[in-house]
Amino acid sequence: MKIAVSACLLGENCKYNAGNNKNEDVLALGDRYKLIPICPECFAGLPIPRVPSEIKDGKVYSKDGVDLSKEFADGAEKALYVAEENACQFAILKERSPSCGFGTIYDGTFSGALTNGNGITAQLFYEHGIRIFGEGQVDKLIDELNQIEE
């Protein structure tokens, strides 16, 4: 069983600010499952560090006003390719990100406010039947995997 994982959750310094979101619960899954790192924004060729982006009215804009919708779509397609090549049926994606967030994302005002919605990659994964969990839902994912393996 392979699980696609936002690379920043595994400690890769691929965030917009060149940091990471290392999460020990996510890393511990690597004892039982093969974790496949994906960073859609890196796959799109965006630099590290980079200006942060958020989704507004269905498009992705950097904080300085550049429309990066095409780049985010390209990164999402590449991340999906990696996930499908590895037959990943599950993904753990960074919550709230304009690429990886699922269910709740930043609202496009760069104020820290949240809104309902999916990041560009999370939406594409969802449309292709990949089950998505946030980093705060590792226990839920383990329960589901245990049921499959029973």
The Cα–Cα gap between 63 and 55 comes to 10
**Burial annotation 67-89 (CB, 10 A radius, 16+ → b, else e):** ebeebbbbbbebbbebbeeeebe
Instruction: Please report the sign of the dihedral spanned by the C-alpha atoms of residue 68, residue 120, residue 93, residue 129.
Output: negative
Nearer to ligand SF4, 21 or 145 (CB): 21
Tell whether residue 100 is a contact of ligand SF4 (CB under 6 A).
Answer: yes
Task: Give me the phi and psi of 142, to 5 degrees please.
Answer: -60, -45
Identify the residue among 23, 53, 62, 99 touching ligand SF4 (CB under 6 A). Answer: 99
Angular region, 119: left φ>0, alpha ψ -120 to 50, beta rest: beta
**Of 39 and 146, which has the nearer Cβ to ligand SF4?**
39
C-alpha dist (Å) from residue 44 to 10, 38, 146, 150:
19, 11, 34, 39
Closest approach of ligand SF4 to the CB of residue 87, in Å = 20
Out of 23, 53, 62, 97, name the contact with ligand SF4 by CB under 6 A: 97
Residues 3-22 within binding reach of ligand SF4 (CB under 6 A): 6-8, 14-15
* Position 62 contacts ligand SF4 (CB under 6 A): no
Q: Alpha carbon 97 to chain centroid distance?
A: 7
For the bound state, the minimum distance from the C-beta of residue 38 to ligand SF4, rounded and expressed in Å, comes to 6
Smaller CB separation from ligand SF4, 69 or 150: 69
Cis amide linkage into residue 40, ω under 30° from 0: no
Q: Per rule CB under 6 A, is residue 94 in the interface with ligand SF4?
A: yes
Whole-number minimum distance, CB 108 to ligand SF4, in Å? 16
Binding site for ligand SF4 (CB under 6 A): 6-8, 14-15, 39-41, 94, 97, 99-100
